[in-house]
Amino acid sequence: MEILKRPMGDYQTNCYIVKIDGKDLIIDPGMGATDWVMTNVKNPVAILNTHGHFDHVWSNSELQKKLNIPLYTPKGDIMLLQNSSWMPGLPPSTPDIEVNGDQTFVIEGIEVKFHHFPGHCPGCSMIEIGDVIFSGDFLFEGSIGRWDFPYSDGEAMRQSLKKFATWTFDKPLYPGHGNATSVRAEQRHVDYWLRMI
């Protein structure tokens, strides 16, 4: 597996390309991601959204048209793909596959697991592919996603953190912003964040 990362737009949102078994998975194509993605994919098979905030999905529609591949988006965030109160110019996109909670897909022979962790937004998810996890805006290095946005829910975030704390394995985490971390490293901060919310 090879992982390419490029921070995109004013919010430096990480867009990832996962190269595995000769195929490319595109994760969270944000603002201005299209040219970079087109330059770096050879055999793209899917676009995956960790959640629906504009800075993670801005280039969904353009890449769907250029690459003719399916878009997977958590069901709870589909309404966010059509408009954004923060960025009214968001190009609307429509997922081909609605991800319903914790759900596993096999995409061109690659197992892709969505883990639902709402709170930052209704559909917020982490995506597990092989030995790595893409944590979107649920978890960052030493931090978590904000829970004071429209459609955010502090109590849902608390329950998501408790669920995450029960994981018994360690894997690298590649977040939606900033540097990579790991399951174990972020589990050490769960009690702190539960007190803060």
Three-class SS state of 162: helix
- Span 69-74, average pLDDT: 98
φ, ψ of residue 48 to 5 degrees: the values are -120, 130
Residue type at position 156 = A
**Confidence class for position 85, pLDDT limits 50, 70, 90:** confident
- Is residue 138 scored above 80 in pLDDT? yes
Whether the per-residue pLDDT at 87 is higher than 90: the answer is: no
Type and span of the H or E element at 106 = strand 103-107
pLDDT, one tens digit per residue, over 104-118 is 999 999 999 999 999
Residue type, 59: S
Checking if the pLDDT of 84 tops 80, the result is no
Distance CA 165, CA 189 (A): 10
What is the pLDDT confidence band of residue 86, given thresholds at 50, 70 and 90? confident
Segments making up each domain of the chain, as ranges: 2-196
Q: Which CATH class is domain 2-196?
A: alpha beta
The yes-or-no verdict on residue 83 having pLDDT over 90 is no
